Amino acid sequence: MAISELQHRQVVIIGAGPSGAIAGALLKRQGHDVLIIERQRFPRFSIGESLLSHCLDFVEEAGMLEAVEAAGFQRKNGAAFAWGERRTAFDFRDKFTPGKDWTFQVQRAHFDQILADEAARQGVEIRYEEEIVAADFSGETPNLDVRRLDGSHYRVECSFVLDGSGYGRVLPRLLDLEAPSCLPVRHAVFTHIEDRIDDEGFDREKILITTHPQLRDVWFWTIPFSNGRCSLGVIADPAYIAERPDDLDACLKRFVEETPSLAGVLKNAVWDTPARKIDGYSANVKSLHGKGYALLGNAAEFLDPVFSSGVTIAMRSASMAAGLLHRQLEGERVDWESDFAVPLKRGVDAFRAYVEGWYDGSFQDVIYYPGSSGDIRRMICSILAGYAWDQNNPYVTEPQRRLRVLAEICAPQAPA
């Protein structure tokens, strides 16, 4: 591999998705030189369309909220849940933690493009269709080898690297940082449809999460957009997927047909986009940082899409890393473990407790329990809104114990 040139930059960010764009803008606003290297050409398709309220805190911090608000995305104020004949909903305007009480449901291709364009508008250089093919952190400064679309290569020497490459997980692959996830392997089959929903009980300002009537570890997302379309997907054990048709469209339709409440909502839908599948999406790493680098969002760890935590964790990690890196570049001695990894993991671990509780049924028992306390619902609502780092919320600080106690109170019952 011939390296045609050596370039020198201060900060290189891998990936122009939400974490990369947010981190880049925040660092640029602090006066730093930032280069983002993105493998794909934007706009590009991505799932993760239902944002949490906490996301907007970071969009606002990066000076991008006005552009996002002007895009005409579907406003979202909470989450609705359905299991058989049961219905319940959490409204972000009635939560325990102070903060944003609304957010958006977005087509990610457009949303990610807006964030990247806003970062570029603020002075961040973004190079699309270029790929990091090698990384060397053994010397005094990091070195990245980059391949352009035309096949030529160059090397970038920099002070620090932030990896916001998402599912691409560039540094975990190149530096052997991959670690097995603690969560079982599950598959997602999903599509976009023209929904034509006329159900008066359907709230377009909420994501609808539907539990399969018999298989409680199988669930669906229905995320309405502002243009009359929606994102629809099912999450299931690979064995359940294998029992349905091999054709992904037929597979997804079969799951919906088995779930009468959802089939009724989507009775008029036009299935006009081929379904896709993601296999074994949960991931983890050995460390969130190392000499000269830190990992953001999904490049570090991805839990599960059930509570739409992925983009929130990505943006939270970007904000934290940008603040810490600014201090380091200004000459301050920082501790990436105690100031980045440990506090970030607190929120991730809180989300993980409820993800695990969802699949073992204990959190579903709480969600669908008809007589839950208003105060408890507000605390849980804060987590569903993304505020999983609020140390004043006991359901954040002690998620396993609190959930266990609640689940014992909310005895499981079969759906009507």
CATH code of the domain covering residue 27? 3.50.50.60
Residue 282 clears pLDDT 80, i.e. is over it:
no
**Beta strand extents in 65-159 (DSSP E only):** 74-76, 78-83, 86-91, 103-105, 125-128, 131-136, 143-147, 153-157
Instruction: Tell me, yes or no, whether 132 and 50 share the same domain.
Output: yes
Instruction: Tell me, yes or no, whether 274 and 150 share the same domain.
Output: no
Contact 322, 27 (CB under 8 A): yes
Q: Which residues pair with 161 in a beta bridge?
A: 12, 293
One-letter amino acid of 35 = L
Element containing residue 221 per DSSP (H, E): strand 219-224
What does the pLDDT average to over 19-29? 98
> Minimal CA–CA distance to 416: which of 351, 349, 368, 360?
368
Instruction: Tell me, yes or no, whether 136 and 257 share the same domain.
Output: no
CA 345 – CA 332 distance, rounded (Å)? 23
Would you say residue 364 lies in a domain?
Answer: no
91 Cβ contact partners less than 8 Å away, ≥ 6 residues apart? 77, 78, 381
Number of domains in the chain: 2
Average pLDDT of the residues of the chain: 94
Least confident of 94-98, 100-104, 166-170, 208-212: 166-170
CA 406 – CA 397 distance, rounded (Å)? 15
Would you say residue 361 lies in a domain?
Answer: no
> Minimal CA–CA distance to 329: which of 294, 286, 301?
294
User: For residue range 50-62, what is the model confidence (pLDDT) as tens digits?
Assistant: 999 999 999 999 9
Instruction: Tell me, yes or no, whether 230 and 297 share the same domain.
Output: no
74 Cβ contact partners less than 8 Å away, ≥ 6 residues apart? 104, 105, 106, 204, 205, 224, 225, 226
Name the band, by pLDDT with cuts 50, 70 and 90, for residue 240. very high
How many of the other CB atoms lie within 10 Å of CB of 44?
Answer: 15
Least confident of 56-65, 119-128, 303-312, 397-406: 303-312
Of 248, 279, 310, the residue that ends a domain is 279
User: For residue range 300-331, what is the model confidence (pLDDT) as tens digits?
Assistant: 777 778 888 999 999 999 999 999 999 999 99
117 Cβ contact partners less than 8 Å away, ≥ 6 residues apart? 67
How many of the other CB atoms lie within 10 Å of CB of 249?
Answer: 14
> Minimal CA–CA distance to 165: which of 29, 279, 10, 21?
21
Task: HSE, CB side, 13 Å, CA atoms: give it for residue 244.
Answer: 21
Dihedral of CA 348/50/233/86: which sign? Answer: positive
Rounded percentage of the chain residues whose pLDDT exceeds 90: 86
Instruction: Tell me, yes or no, whether 138 and 206 share the same domain.
Output: no
Instruction: Tell me, yes or no, whether 260 and 200 share the same domain.
Output: yes
CA 136 – CA 1 distance, rounded (Å)? 15
Instruction: Tell me, yes or no, whether 161 and 296 share the same domain.
Output: yes
Task: HSE, CB side, 13 Å, CA atoms: give it for residue 379.
Answer: 20
CA 90 – CA 110 distance, rounded (Å)? 27
Element containing residue 242 per DSSP (H, E): helix 238-242
The CATH number of the domain holding residue 252 is: 3.30.9.100
Would you say residue 372 lies in a domain?
Answer: no
Contact 33, 9 (CB under 8 A): yes
Whether residue 18 is preceded by a cis peptide bond, meaning omega within 30 degrees of 0, is no
Contact 109, 45 (CB under 8 A): yes
Residue 416 clears pLDDT 70, i.e. is over it:
no
30 compared with 278, residue with greater pLDDT: 30
Instruction: Tell me, yes or no, whether 151 and 245 share the same domain.
Output: no
Would you say residue 394 lies in a domain?
Answer: no
Instruction: Tell me, yes or no, whether 253 and 312 share the same domain.
Output: no
Residue 411 clears pLDDT 70, i.e. is over it:
no
3-state secondary structure 248-314: HHHHHHHHHHCCHHHHHHCCCCECCCCCEEEECCCEEECCCEECCEEECHHHCCECCHHHCHHHHHH
Would you say residue 62 lies in a domain?
Answer: yes
Q: First-to-last CA distance in the chain?
A: 64
Instruction: Tell me, yes or no, whether 133 and 162 share the same domain.
Output: yes
User: For residue range 74-120, what is the model confidence (pLDDT) as tens digits?
Assistant: 999 999 999 999 999 999 999 999 999 999 999 999 999 999 999 99
CA 4 – CA 14 distance, rounded (Å)? 20
Would you say residue 259 lies in a domain?
Answer: yes
User: For residue range 335-355, what is the model confidence (pLDDT) as tens digits?
Assistant: 999 999 999 999 999 999 999
What does the pLDDT average to over 20-34? 98
Of 231, 254, 279, the residue that ends a domain is 279
Task: Quote the crossing angle between the two packed helices 399-409 and 342-360, to the nearest 10°.
Answer: 20
Strands 153-157 and 3-8: parallel
Of 279, 297, 313, the residue that ends a domain is 279
Contact 141, 158 (CB under 8 A): yes
Instruction: Tell me, yes or no, whether 299 and 254 share the same domain.
Output: no
* Domain extent at residue 37: 3-70+105-179+283-346
Instruction: Tell me, yes or no, whether 288 and 271 share the same domain.
Output: no
Would you say residue 222 lies in a domain?
Answer: yes
One-letter amino acid of 388 = A
Would you say residue 326 lies in a domain?
Answer: yes
Residue 184 clears pLDDT 90, i.e. is over it:
no
